[in-house]
Amino acid sequence: METTLKPGINHIEFWVSDIPQSMTFYNSFLTLVGWKRSSDRSFTDGSMVIYFMEMKDVEKTRSLGIRHICFQAVEKKQVDEVHQALMKQEAKIIRGPVIMPYSREYYTVDFYDPDGQVIEVAHTPYAVEPS
């Protein structure tokens, strides 16, 4: 049976220096916001997949491109739970948890993954205000 496709992001691929380290790190917070581990190198939310590819000999460089990826927390308490999980791993927190002025009740924590990629988990109940 053919599925009906709709516009959106099909998947994201992260290049990482250490698969076990990255999978452990991402598992510690993605499962708190509704993602499930779908293989030894991927997670899914049911409509999108994030793949991890180990690239040991790739040099990280500064360049233009995506600054960060934000994962949606459907409940505000999930942001706090993610923060607690990050603290247990001694992850480098950029900011938060904190209310930001982007939209009403925008509650976020921003941090670095083991390879220095900026990641955000945010609860954004009013990100798109009704007109």
Q: pLDDT, tens digit, for every residue of 56-110?
A: 888 888 888 888 999 999 999 999 999 999 999 999 999 999 999 999 999 999 9
Could you tell me if residue 4 is inside a domain? no
Any idea what the CATH number is for the domain that residue 93 is in? 3.10.180.10
Query: Residue 76's domain spans which residues?
Result: 11-57+67-123
Q: Are 28 and 66 in contact (CB under 8 A)?
A: no
Could you tell me if residue 102 is inside a domain? yes
**pLDDT greater than 70 at residue 32:** yes
Could you tell me if residue 80 is inside a domain? yes
pTM above 0.85, yes or no: yes
Q: What is the mean pLDDT of residues 5-16?
A: 87
Q: What is the mean pLDDT of residues 28-44?
A: 97
Number of domains present in the structure of the chain:
1
Could you tell me if residue 131 is inside a domain? no
Burial of 52 (0-12, 13-18, 19+ CB in 10 A): buried
Could you tell me if residue 2 is inside a domain? no
- State which H helix or E strand residue 126 sits in: none
Could you tell me if residue 129 is inside a domain? no
Could you tell me if residue 99 is inside a domain? yes
pLDDT band at 6 (very low <50, low <70, confident <90, very high): confident
Helix axes 76-88, 19-30, angle to 10 degrees: 150
Please give the backbone phi and psi of residue 52, each rounded to the nearest 5 degrees, phi first: -120, 130
Could you tell me if residue 87 is inside a domain? yes
CA atoms within 13 A on the CB side of 124: 15
Structure tokens at 24: 């452990």
CA–CA separation, 95 vs 108, rounded Å? 8
